[in-house]
Structures are given as structure tokens and as C-alpha cells.
């Protein structure tokens, strides 16, 4: 479904083609303010999305590394048990959860310990499914996780600032719609029903996108559903 601000942006574009039929300076001012607020929401949403995308990439790299390291560790441990090498067994005895627990450096150190243990015993591991290619693949996953480090504090602060800005912008949008535009649009119910209905359709879609449902009619006939921050 289109984003809530995207639906309202469609209305502001429609307004450009119909405002010659309207005569309320207050309505024109309100629509201009709505357009500015929606543009600001787009900017802040992109900033927040950038931060979320970086966090998701890091989590994906961590889980991928954990799977690869655990697979190699269990194969090396099986080999060590067969040959009676207790030292090697101790180097690679990690649970799946333990491999990805803790600080980034700790995770990397564990994965490298498993990788090095496999590399040193590679001649014994072919029958256990560990080849030089698999060891190299593990090294690449370690490097990928190392590069996917947490966002710098400046980026984290930017994400937090974007969230705060979005909360204020959504509040401004609700106020602008509920307290100003909704009331002014009542005057067009009869004089310009197409314009009136287009606005109210957008309001219904906005509410459906934000809350999953809408209800009721105001005394003027328009939707009484109120915009909620998604």
C-alpha cells in the first residue's frame, strides 16, 4: 500500500489542478503547508531507512558468519575426537549461540580461532567436509562481518534525530488535517463535490494505511478517521 504521506501528496498534486475552482486563501495556505510537511517527512524517512538498512546488513553478516563458523567447528571437532587430539577439540568447542555472542571483536576472534584450527589441520579434514575452499569462504565471511561494523555515533545520532523529527512532523500533519483542512473542505461538498470526494478518499486511505481500519462520518459527510503516525 502507498505510504500515508504518499496518499496525501497525491491530493496536493490534485489540488494544483483544481485550485482555480476554490476561493479560500486559508485552504491554499493549508495545502502549501501540507506539501512542505510531507516533503520533510520524506527526507527524515530516508535518513531513518539508511540507519535501519545498516543495522539489518550487520545482523545478516553476523548470522551468516555464525552458521559458517559453526559448520567448520563441528567438523573439526569430529575429526579431533577421531584422532584423539584434545587440544584441537578445546579450540573449536563452541555452541552455535556462543559463536555469535558478545562484542564484535570477540565474535571475530572466535571465528578466526575456528578458521585457524581448520587451516592447521586441513590435511585431515577432507573426509569431514572441510576443504581449503570452505576455509577461504569462512575467511570471507569474517571479513564481511568486520566491515559491517556498528554505525558511527554521528550516524546513530542522525537516526535518533530523524525519529524525533518524524514524530513532530506526524503531529503537525494531524493538526493540519484535523483542525484546519477537514473543516475548510466541508464548504466544497456541494460546490465542488469531485474535489471534496478526492480529499476525503485520501483521508480514508491514509487512515487505512496507518491503522488498518477507519470508521465513521463527520456531520459534513467526510471521513472522521484521523491520521495516526505509522
Do residues 35 and 9 make contact, with C-beta atoms less than 8 angstroms apart? yes
Question: Given the C-alpha cell 495516526, which residue does it identify?
Answer: 228
Please give the pLDDT value at position 136: 95
The pTM score is 0.51
Measured distance CA(100)–CA(222) in Å, rounded: 54
Q: Which residues pair with 217 in a beta bridge?
A: 223
Q: Which residue has the higher pLDDT, 51 or 68?
A: 68
Q: What integer pLDDT is reported at residue 56 of this predicted model?
A: 77
Interhelix angle 132-147/25-83, nearest 10 degrees: 150
13 — pLDDT class (breaks 50, 70, 90): low
Given a cut of 90, is residue 98 above it in pLDDT? yes
* Mean pLDDT across 187-208: 76
User: Alpha carbon 192 to chain centroid distance?
Assistant: 40
Give mean pLDDT, residues 136-155: 80
Please tell me the distance from the alpha carbon of residue 94 to that of residue 193, in angstroms, as a whole number: 69
The whole-chain average pLDDT of the chain stands at 78
Q: What is the pLDDT of residues 147-195, one digit of tens each?
A: 886 555 555 566 778 788 888 888 888 888 888 888 888 888 888 888 8
Q: Using H for helix, E for strand and C for coil, what is the string for 127-179?
A: HHCCCHHHHHHHHHHHHHHHHCCCCCHHHHHHHHHHHHHHHHHHHHHHHHHHH
Beta carbons of 115 and 139 less than 8 angstroms apart: yes
Is 70 exceeded by the pLDDT of residue 227? no
List the domain boundaries for the chain.
4-46+154-211, 53-147
Read off the pLDDT of each residue in 66-82 and give the average, rounded to a whole number.
Answer: 95
* Rg (the chain; Cα; Å): 29
**Percent of the chain's residues with pLDDT above 90:** 36
Asked if 173 and 5 count as a contact pair (C-beta separation under 8 A), the reply is yes
pLDDT of the residue at 9? 59
Question: 42-46, 47-51, 80-84, 100-104: lowest mean pLDDT where?
Answer: 47-51
> What is the grid cell recorded at 14?
490534485
For residue 201 the three cell numbers come to 478518499
Model confidence pLDDT, tens digit, residues 103-135: 999 999 999 999 999 999 999 999 999 999 999
* Residue at grid coordinates 496536493: 12
Amino acid at each position: 500500500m502507498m505510504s500515508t504521506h504518499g496518499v496525501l501528496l497525491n491530493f496536493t498534486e490534485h489540488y494544483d489542478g483544481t485550485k482555480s475552482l476554490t476561493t479560500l486563501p486559508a485552504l491554499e495556505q493549508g495545502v502549501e503547508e501540507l506539501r512542505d510537511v510531507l516533503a520533510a517527512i520524506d527526507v527524515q524517512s530516508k535518513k531513518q531507512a539508511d540507519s535501519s538498512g545498516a543495522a539489518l546488513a550487520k545482523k545478516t553478516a553476523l548470522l551468516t558468519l555464525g552458521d559458517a563458523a559453526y559448520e567448520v567447528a563441528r567438523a573439526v571437532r569430529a575429526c579431533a575426537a577421531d584422532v584423539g587430539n584434545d587440544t584441537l577439540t578445546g579450540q573449536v568447542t563452541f555452541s552455535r549461540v556462543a559463536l555469535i555472542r558478545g562484542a564484535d571483536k570477540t565474535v571475530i576472534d572466535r571465528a578466526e580461532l575456528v578458521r585457524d584450527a581448520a587451516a592447521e589441520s586441513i590435511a585431515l579434514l577432507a573426509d569431514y567436509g572441510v576443504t581449503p575452499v570452505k576455509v577461504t569462504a569462512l575467511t570471507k565471511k569474517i571479513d564481511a562481518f568486520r566491515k559491517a561494523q556498528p554505525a558511527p555515533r554521528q550516524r546513530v545520532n542522525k537516526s535518533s534525530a530523524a525519529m524525533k523529527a518524524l514524530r513532530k512532523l506526524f503531529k503537525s500533519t494531524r493538526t493540519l488535517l484535523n483542525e484546519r483542512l477537514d473543516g475548510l473542505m466541508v464548504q466544497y461538498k456541494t460546490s465542488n463535490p469531485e474535489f471534496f470526494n478526492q480529499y476525503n478518499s485520501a483521508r480514508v486511505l491514509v487512515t487505512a494505511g496507518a491503522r488498518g481500519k477507519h470508521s465513521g462520518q463527520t456531520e459534513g459527510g467526510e471521513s472522521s478517521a484521523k491520521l495516526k503516525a505509522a
